[in-house]
Chains A and B, each alone.
Chain A
Amino acid sequence: MNKYTVELTPPAVRAYELIHQSASNCIAAGETGGPKVLLLRSVDQVLDEDIAERPFEAGTPLCAELAGVYCATRDKAFVYYEPSRRPLTIAILFISSGPTKASHIERADAILAQILLSSGIQVLAPGMTARLAAN
Chain B
Amino acid sequence: MASIPNSYINPNVRTVGVSKLRSMNASQLKGIDKTLVIQEYDQPLAVLLKYEEFLAMQRQLLAALETQVVISDPDELKSILAARKDLNAGNTRTIEQVRESLTRAKEKA
A contact set with B: CB distance below 8 Å:
5-13, 15-17, 20, 24, 47-48, 60-66, 69, 71, 80, 82, 84, 91-94, 96, 99, 104, 107-108, 111-112, 115, 120, 123
- Total interface residues on B, CB under 8 Å, equals 35
B69: A residues at CB distance < 8 A: 99, 104, 107-108, 111
Please state if B92 and A96 are interface contacts (CB–CB under 8 Å).
no
Measured between alpha carbons, how far is A74 from B86 in the docked complex, in Å? 25
Measured between alpha carbons, how far is A96 from B93 in the docked complex, in Å? 18
Measured between alpha carbons, how far is A71 from B71 in the docked complex, in Å? 13
Contact of A20 among B4, B68, B102 (CB under 8 A): B102
Q: Known A11-B79, A11-B83, A62-B70; judge A115-B94 contact (CB<8 A).
A: no
The B interface, classified by DSSP as helix, strand, loop or mixed, is helix
CB distance from A56 to the nearest CB of B (A): 12
CB distance from A113 to the nearest CB of B (A): 11
B contact set with A: CB distance below 8 Å:
1-2, 4, 59-73, 76, 79-84, 86-87, 91-95, 98, 102, 106
CB distance from B60 to the nearest CB of A (A): 8
B72: A residues at CB distance < 8 A: 104, 107-108, 111
Please state if A94 and B79 are interface contacts (CB–CB under 8 Å).
yes
> Which residue of A has the minimal Cβ distance to B75?
A96
Please state if A94 and B98 are interface contacts (CB–CB under 8 Å).
no
Please state if B102 and A7 are interface contacts (CB–CB under 8 Å).
no
